[in-house]
Amino acid sequence: MEEIVDNFFNVDIAVGAMSIVIDGLLNTILLSLMVVPLGFLSGLGLAVMAQSKSRAVRWPLMAWVDFFRAFPPLVLLVLLFAGLPFMGLELGGFACVAVAFMLNNSAYYGEILRAGIDSVPHGQIEAARSTGLSGGQAMVYVVLPQAIRNVLPDLLSNTLEVVKLTSLGSVVAVPELLYQARQAQSATFNPTPIVMAAVIYFLILWPLVRLLSRLENRALAGRG
Amino acid sequence: MTAIVKAYGVHKHFGHLHVLKGVDLEVAERELVFVIGPSGSGKSTLLRCLNRLEQPSSGSIEVAGIDMLSPKTDINHARQHIGMVFQSFNLYPHMTALGNVMLALRKVAGKGKAEAETLAQAALDRVGLADRAHHRPAELSGGQQQRVAIARSIALEPRVMLFDEPTSALDPELVGSVLAVMRDLRESGMTMIVVSHEMGFAKNAADRVIFMDDGLIVEQGPPAAIFDTPAHERTRAFIGQIQQH
């Protein structure tokens, strides 16, 4: 028992590692604030373009989405980080995470939003267009607000995954929460900082998880 | 008589289906034209071609002096002059009744917020729903929803109103309130083209009834003539059928 406390819940170590771990948390937040909007907006772009009637637009989009959904994000990240320098292009860890996540997330957010857009009855667009709204205006003011509401639980669920996946940044030396915790661990020869990171992840994500459950329950109730 | 709607030789194909087979239609200003016919006769498609929700395969369509099929026509601008009311209301569920009416006033007619709100409130007042302005569609009855949909169109002060089976989705006891609004519109001199089987309304409000079948206008005339002494066998059979219901 004492061994467990010493190794995983060591108060002295925790106090000493606190500032390093907090730095990591700030970077994780920063990273999330970057990759979530980037993924959401590029996904939105894909979803809207997927409404095109032209196959020449839709098919490459489908291929793009399939490709990045099947491509493990960690592999993508390492490829960008370790591969691009061979082309004389050095992006740095932060930028690599941004690009890799944008490619990966856009596919996921895009599929969710596409389903949301498809869930809005076509009559909504016709009504909007019949009053003189352009296709773009109908999308922005009529379709998307309904589409996003319809898939809100899925969007939130995906966002949770994305925030968790920012820990992959540790592999390419981005000083986010996990990376900083590991630094502190190797400096102190004690895994307590890793436990701190785990607790912090839980504390920031748990409210989102609760919110998600509530939304899902409400969606179920609404359906019944 | 000046025609505000002029459609000539309108054809529409959906793949192999030939839905409109050369329809000619002129509607005079302030006229109320009723279009009846069996399902699949092309009456809704004709209506939807007039504001180009459907693109006709060939023919010419002019509404309020605007060539609706010319590539040079700004279709969004043209549609402001043509109101449309749908069978399924199609109100925006995420907005209040007022918001539904204000959207096009703001974004298409370019009104400021205060002016749009005043105009929208006036339009709701006109359909008898001033006190429902801040309700969402889900909180309104079908009849009220359809009246909001009418307000959404008339707020833009269209030159022509198209009604696509406006009462077909309503419970019988709610039909009257929608027809009352339509009658009021008619009395104000609105040009209206109505696809509907509300025979009673057609008889005492319509100037002209058009019977369509199989993508063509079979016959047309004053309501009494079409309903009581139809010239064609197909018209007679159809009218006999709806009168049984």
pLDDT tens, position by position, A54-64:
899 999 999 99
Q: How far is it, in rounded angstroms, from Cα B245 to Cα B242?
A: 5
Cα distances from B49 to residues A103, B46, B68, in angstroms, run 42, 5, 9
A146 interfacial to chain B (CB closer than 8 Å): yes
Chain centroid to CA B149: 11
Which residue of A130, A149, A152 to mutate against B (max B Cβ within 10 Å)? A130
pLDDT tens, N- to C-terminus, chain B (245 residues): 689 999 999 999 999 999 999 999 999 999 999 999 999 999 999 999 999 999 999 999 999 999 999 999 999 999 999 999 999 999 999 999 999 999 999 999 999 999 999 999 999 999 999 999 999 999 999 999 999 999 999 999 999 999 999 999 999 889 999 999 999 999 999 999 999 988 889 998 999 999 999 999 999 999 999 999 999 999 999 998 887 76
Number of domains in chain A: 1
CA distance A155 to chain B (A): 19
H helices present in chain A, as ranges: 2-8, 11-49, 55-70, 73-78, 92-118, 122-130, 135-137, 144-150, 152-165, 177-188, 192-223
Which residue of B54, B55, B90 to mutate against A (max A Cβ within 10 Å)? B90
**Which pLDDT score, from 0 to 100, does residue B199 have?**
87
Q: How far is it, in rounded angstroms, from Cα A39 to Cα A35?
A: 6
CB contact under 8 A, A146 and B94: yes
**In B, residues 118-157, which contact A (CB 8 Å cutoff)?**
149, 152-153, 156
Give me the domain span that covers residue A113: 2-223
| Widest CA span in chain B | 56
B104 interfacial to chain A (CB closer than 8 Å): yes
**Which pLDDT score, from 0 to 100, does residue A224 have?**
42
Q: Give per-residue pLDDT as tens, A40-99.
A: 999 999 999 998 888 999 999 999 999 999 999 999 999 999 988 888 888 888 899 999
Which residue of B51, B68, B76 to mutate against A (max A Cβ within 10 Å)? B76
Q: Which residues, 6+ apart, have CB-to-CB distance to B196 below 8 Å?
A: B34, B35, B36, B163, B165, B166, B167, B168, B202
Residue B130 host element (H or E): none
Tell me the β-bridge partners of B162. Answer: B84, B193
Query: Which residues of chain B make contact with A137, given a CB cutoff of 8 A?
Result: 107-108
Place A161 in a pLDDT band, splitting at 50, 70 and 90.
very high
Chain centroid to CA A41: 11
Give the torsion through C-alpha atoms of A206, A145, A119, B52, to 10 deg. -170
**Which pLDDT score, from 0 to 100, does residue B1 have?**
63
CA distance A217 to chain B (A): 20
- B64 SS3 class: coil
Total-model pTM: 0.89
CA distance A54 to chain B (A): 17
Place A39 in a pLDDT band, splitting at 50, 70 and 90.
very high
Place A223 in a pLDDT band, splitting at 50, 70 and 90.
low
What DSSP character marks residue B63?
E
Q: How far is it, in rounded angstroms, from Cα B7 to Cα B11?
A: 10
Q: How far is it, in rounded angstroms, from Cα B7 to Cα B204?
A: 26
Name which of B86, B90, B108 is nearest A133 (Cβ-Cβ).
Answer: B108
**% of chain A at pLDDT higher than 90:** 71
CATH of the domain at A119: 1.10.3720.10
CB contact under 8 A, A130 and B53: yes
CB contact under 8 A, A126 and B156: no
